[in-house]
Amino acid sequence: MIEQWERGNLQPSIALVNANLGYAWFEELWTRYPVCFVKERIFFVRQDGKGFGQSKKASAFVYFGDSPFMFGHTFNRIGRVIMP
């Protein structure tokens, strides 16, 4: 996603990733892009509304776009938002 965003081939997007502190790929994300560290593990729901299980690890949303403050305002309800 980073490569596609930097080339201009990606519309504003949000990536859901494991919050893997201590890994170079994750360090690159949260030092260069707005990230929301989710307070609680995410519960997944299928299209039919039935539960699909809960994330086994902490999660983070990474924002690729031109409205970082809107991202921060929206996502601060579910976790701590870190701006680069």
Sorted by where each begins, the domain ranges of the chain are 12-82
pTM of the predicted model, to two decimals? Answer: 0.87
What's the rounded Cα separation, in Å, for the pair 80 and 35?
A: 8
pLDDT (tens digit per residue) in 9-65: 999 999 999 998 888 988 888 889 999 999 999 889 999 999 888 888 899 999 999
